[in-house]
């Protein structure tokens, strides 16, 4: 027994040395694989408000019933408590997205409140973006102020591209005052300014020459080497004259 042990100890180092050793190229490949795997695991998942929203059967039933009961406050509230609160997260998100697409402001605001009370809810830029874009299309000032206050309270920050899209939506919706308020928020944002969102806003400001000059000055101050296209001065005068002649 002892002889066998001595022989094993004596021969083990040579046998170990004889084993094939991994090359530097192999070790480097293994390191890169594990580094990529670790990076993928730590990467944040896609926001639920950006994922493809497919409404399930339960969501379809709830959406149809909410539209039917909206004129009956008592039955509507009862249905909200009994059925909407039991929806799966995916269905609740999908129903809200569908109401926003249909410009159902009343129903969207109701589900907005429900979502913010859910245990899985987390403040999200895209959640608020979709709400504000829908409210801008429908010229809802009071609801916009309420959503904006919630957003500020939850310390949600928009990036520059999202700010540009929202400001443009309020300009296109005929709400220049609200658009300017959000533009000022954009100017105070810690996110570094980008030229493209400013160009999006400047194009939306064509019907508002005075406001456009202010934003144009800010743009040229931030990006001194860039050029801003100015339309002909008589562009809107021709449109106004055409409108008046049609009214006559």
CA 88/CA 56 separation, integer angstroms:
9
- Would you say 59 and 94 are in contact if contact means Cβ atoms under 8 Å apart? yes
Looking at domain 122-235, what is its CATH homologous superfamily?
Tetratricopeptide repeat domain (1.25.40.10)
What letters, b where the CB count within 10 A reaches 16 and e where it falls short, cover 41-50? Answer: eeeeeeebbe
pLDDT (0 to 100) of residue 51? 67
Counts of helices then strands in the chain (DSSP H, E): 13, 0
CA distances from 130 to 51, 72, 93, 126, 157 (A): 13, 27, 12, 6, 14
Q: How far apart are CA 126 and CA 93, in angstroms?
A: 12
pLDDT at site 10: 52
Q: Confirm if 93 and 49 have CB atoms less than 8 A apart.
A: yes
Residue (of 225, 228, 226) closest to 213 by Cα position: 228
Q: Which residues of the chain have pLDDT under 70?
A: 1-46, 51-53, 233-248
pLDDT of 55: 81
CB 135 within 8 A of CB 99: no
Residue positions counted in the chain: 248
Choose among 209, 124, 211, 134: nearest CA to 165: 134
Cα separation, 132 vs 49, in Å, equals 14
Give residue 203's pLDDT.
Answer: 94
Two domains, one topology: 50-121 and 122-235 = yes
Residue of 162, 175, 173 lying closest to 137 (CA atoms): 173
Q: What is the pLDDT of residue 94?
A: 93
DSSP character for 52? -
pTM (predicted TM-score): 0.74
Domain boundaries, the chain: 50-121, 122-235
Whole-angstrom CA distances from 237 to 158, 204, 207, 232, 240 are 36, 17, 11, 10, 5
Distance linking the first and last C-alpha atoms of the chain? 118
CA dist., res. 233 & res. 246, Å (int): 22
What CATH architecture is 50-121? Alpha Horseshoe (1.25)
- pLDDT for residue 171: 97
| pLDDT at position 38 | 36
């Amino acid at each position: 027994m002892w002889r066998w042990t001595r022989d094993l100890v004596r021969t083990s180092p040579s046998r170990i040395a004889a084993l094939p050793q991994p090359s530097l190229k192999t070790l480097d490949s293994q390191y890169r694989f594990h580094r990529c795997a670790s990076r993928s695991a730590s990467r944040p998942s896609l926001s639920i408000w950006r994922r493809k929203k497919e409404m399930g059967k339960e969501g379809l039933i709830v959406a149809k019933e909410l539209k039917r009961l909206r004129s009956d406050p008592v039955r509507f509230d009862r249905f909200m408590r009994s059925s909407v609160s039991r929806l799966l997260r995916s269905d609740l998100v999908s129903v809200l997205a569908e109401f926003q697409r249909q410009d159902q402001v009343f129903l969207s605001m109701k589900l907005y409140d429900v979502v913010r009370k859910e245990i899985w809810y987390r403040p999200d830029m895209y959640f608020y973006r979709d709400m504000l874009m829908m409210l801008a299309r429908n010229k809802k000032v009071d609801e916009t102020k309420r959503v904006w206050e919630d957003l500020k309270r939850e310390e949600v920050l928009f990036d520059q591209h999202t700010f540009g899209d929202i400001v443009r939506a309020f300009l296109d919706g005929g709400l220049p005052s609200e658009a300017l308020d959000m533009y000022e928020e954009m100017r105070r944002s810690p996110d570094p300014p980008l030229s493209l969102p400013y160009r999006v806003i400047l194009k939306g400001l064509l019907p508002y020459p005075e406001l456009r000059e202010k934003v144009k000055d800010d743009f040229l101050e931030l990006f001194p080497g860039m050029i801003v296209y100015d339309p002909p001065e008589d562009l809107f005068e021709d449109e106004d004259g055409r409108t008046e002649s049609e009214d006559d």
